[in-house]
Structure 1
Amino acid sequence: MSTSPSFPFTALVAQEQLQRALLLAAIDPAIGGVLIAGPRGTAKSTAARALAALLPGAPFVTLPLAASLEQLVGTLNLQDALQNGQVSLQPGLLARAHGGVLYVDEVNLLPDALVDALLDAAASGVNTVERDGISERHAARFVLVGTMNPEEGELRPQLLDRFGLALTLANPQDAATRSAIVRARLAFEANPEALLAAHHDALAQLGQRIEAARARLAQLAWSDAVLARAAELALAAGVDGLRADLVMLRAARALAALQARPQVLPEDVDAVADLALAHRRADAQPQAQAQSPQPAQQPPSQPPSQTAASQGGQASPTGDWGALPPRPAPMVRVVNTGGLAPKKA
């Protein structure tokens, strides 16, 4: 079964930061994948497919927006259970993506359970299935590429933080860049084989560099200066936890391996810092934090009713918005006269 050719990775125009992020994640999938935000038509899916075509024998698997958790992680093989009475695993999309690229369009619209399973497998390289009487583990090492259009909704900060690298694309603002992008796209549509042939040598060399970088990765260590630089940048960004430090260190090591250098330098950390910190900074998600405002807590020593009464009957600004303070209501005593209720006519 023939597949349509993919746009050559080396032919992407004005996408150096995107190309770098994808290459680093391909060298070390433990980085945790790449989240690409941006409007329509900014080459998000084109770049993901081009990366898969660059890796020899790598599958390109797309997660449908309506996919279920069973389709993603796997489930009970009903045919084996009914015919042979055996409990076995029906592999899911995570198993199919092993060794390749798992592409998730509009990841911000997926249920949280699917995103959790995706990110767990992308970070660990292992998929654990415990359901329907099955308890199995299988390798699931892939490059996770998630895309989203911020106009269609944000990704929860807790899930956003678990993506290794992230960047936001924008429409080109100068005519020369737009013309170069359109020219390359038109050339590919007119004769994809000719464009692929023109980039054959560059693609082959880049593929060899990725393979060599993967083999070199385990030989590179982080010096104290590199560790200190990552910690310094993470503290300056005001990030929570240590995930940002780990991602920066892994990405810096992958960059050094890609450039065939014998050691990781603090400059490598600087080169990848924006990709690792842009979506983790303390001020990166002000809108997401403001989407679900929570009323401030009253001091435990003073109940809300006392606070309202102490302010002259006005509702406390720290209480439920729009709530009225309690007010005393007069009680009317009902006297039973012992008489019967009048009969209905």
Structure 2
Amino acid sequence: MDKIQNQTRPVFPFTAIVGQEEMKLALILNVIDPKIGGVMIMGDRGTGKSTTIRAIADLLPEIEVVTDDMFNSHVSDYDLMSDFTKQQIEDSVSISTHFIKVPMVDLPLGATEDRLCGTIDIEKALNEGIKTFEPGLLAKANRGILYVDEVNLLDDHLVDILLDSAASGWNTVEREGISVRHPSRFVLVGSGNPEEGELRPQLLDRFGMHAEIRTVRDPSMRVQIVEQRTKFDQDPYACIEEFKEQQNSLKSSIIFAQSKLTSVMIDYDLKVKISQICGLLDVDGLRGDIVTNRAAKAFAAYQNKDEVDIQDVKTVITLCLRHRLRKDPLDTIDSGTKVKQVVNDILG
């Protein structure tokens, strides 16, 4: 109990969040397999988007990082290691490590490219021949979660940089012929309110999943949400203690799913059906097929299954395809409903 009280600021427990199952599932699957490609959460104001994202970051187990490294480098995985750490390993320097909470980085709306990517001190490089790099938010977010609220209001150029780093796992900064690159593998979470404008289709397509959240209309559920929040505000530590068991259980399920992920199989016929659905929905490119396969495997691993079944695909496919459909201004049905119709026709 003392350990909890030493934390700087208590975070609302993930398992205490009432409703918004679609958003919670999308976040859990991205944490199990970050290669799904992040999640875009679109919905009404005041529906707990930020609370849920902070809660999932707080829930995750601590990660081991190399001490004195600016990029949260992994001690043995080359893909998550900076060039500085690789050099130390090659030179047989003994490396010390310590554990930190999973980084949760907020990108402010007014952020500049330098704040995001980091800067190279050109003067020092030219005068003293020393390559000095001041890390940006992409460096801090390596192996963590990068959250962009109001992503639809962010400059398209910055969204592009974010998506490129999230996809490649690396960030490269070049100034006056001097180049620095570092690992930047994170789960990208964007949120926004559709009333304030949509993201451009080519940027939207780069997000792995798209969760839609609506204000809860059911009165008894609304009361439950308000009571839960009031209880937390009055005594956060008692609330954290109350949900401790559920938090630990979910954490264990996520860790287990992460380790099981590589062994989960997906049948060839099921892959064909996924691609058939993407074809019938006229989804551009193959990203929809790839993400649906990945998400279905992550969901199967989360449920401790060895093989993906039809139900797993049905659970995740709307999240993976809803934002990839071509917008028809004359369409009267919602894109999620359209996906479900085709899925039911093909998968039964």
- Cα deviations across residues 49-104 of structure 1 (Å, max 9, x unaligned)? 00100112201110010111121122203585378431233221111011211110
Does structure 1 conserve the Cα–Cα contact (< 8 Å) formed by 2:145 and 2:186? yes
Q: Point out the more displaced range, 115-124 or 69-78.
A: 69-78
Q: Counterpart of 1:24 in 2: which secondary structure?
A: helix
Normalising to structure 1: TM-score of the pair?
A: 0.79
Q: Cα 1:226–1:84, aligned 2, differ >3 Å: closer, same or farther?
A: farther
1:29 to 9, 29, 34: 34
Q: Point out the more displaced range, 130-139 or 5-14.
A: 130-139
Q: Distance in 1 between matches of 2:311 and 2:272?
A: 12
- 1:265 maps to 309
- Cα deviations across residues 207-252 of structure 1 (Å, max 9, x unaligned)? 1211121122222233202211210221232211111111101111
Q: Distance in 2 between matches of 1:118 and 1:154?
A: 17
1:116 to 160, 171, 194: 160
Q: Which runs of 5+ in 1 are unaligned?
A: 288-345
Amino acid at match of 1:200: K
Q: Cα 1:82–1:15, aligned 2, differ >3 Å: closer, same or farther?
A: same
Q: Cα 1:151–1:183, aligned 2, differ >3 Å: closer, same or farther?
A: same
1:94 to 134, 138, 143: 138
Q: Cα 1:77–1:212, aligned 2, differ >3 Å: closer, same or farther?
A: farther
Q: Cα 1:220–1:78, aligned 2, differ >3 Å: closer, same or farther?
A: same
Normalising to structure 2: TM-score of the pair?
A: 0.78
Amino acid at match of 1:38: G
Does structure 2 conserve the Cα–Cα contact (< 8 Å) formed by 1:164 and 1:247? yes
Q: How many residues align?
A: 287
Q: Which has the higher contact order (CA 8 A, sep 6+)?
A: 2
- 2:341 maps to none
Amino acid at match of 1:24: L
Q: Distance in 2 between matches of 1:285 and 1:20?
A: 30
Q: Deviation at 1:132?
A: 3.8
Which structure's residues are more often helix, by fraction?
Answer: 2
Q: Distance in 1 between matches of 2:33 and 2:218?
A: 34
- 1:19 maps to 24
- 1:314 maps to none
2:297 to 241, 253, 259: 253
> Aligned-pair RMSD on alpha carbons?
2.0
2:326 to 282, 285, 288: 282
Q: Point out the more displaced range, 120-129 or 7-16.
A: 120-129
Q: Which runs of 5+ in 2 are unaligned?
A: 1-5, 62-100, 332-348
- 2:46 maps to 41
Q: Deviation at 1:167?
A: 1.6
Q: Distance in 2 between matches of 1:90 and 1:191?
A: 40
- Cα deviations across residues 23-60 of structure 1 (Å, max 9, x unaligned)? 00111111111101112100110011001001122011
Q: Counterpart of 1:184 in 2: which secondary structure?
A: helix
Q: Distance in 2 between matches of 1:132 and 1:286?
A: 50
- 1:63 maps to 107
1:8 to 9, 13, 30: 13
Q: Distance in 2 between matches of 1:136 and 1:212?
A: 36
Q: Deviation at 1:283?
A: 3.5
Q: Distance in 1 between matches of 2:20 and 2:123?
A: 47
Does structure 2 conserve the Cα–Cα contact (< 8 Å) formed by 1:230 and 1:248? yes
Q: Counterpart of 1:279 in 2: which secondary structure?
A: helix
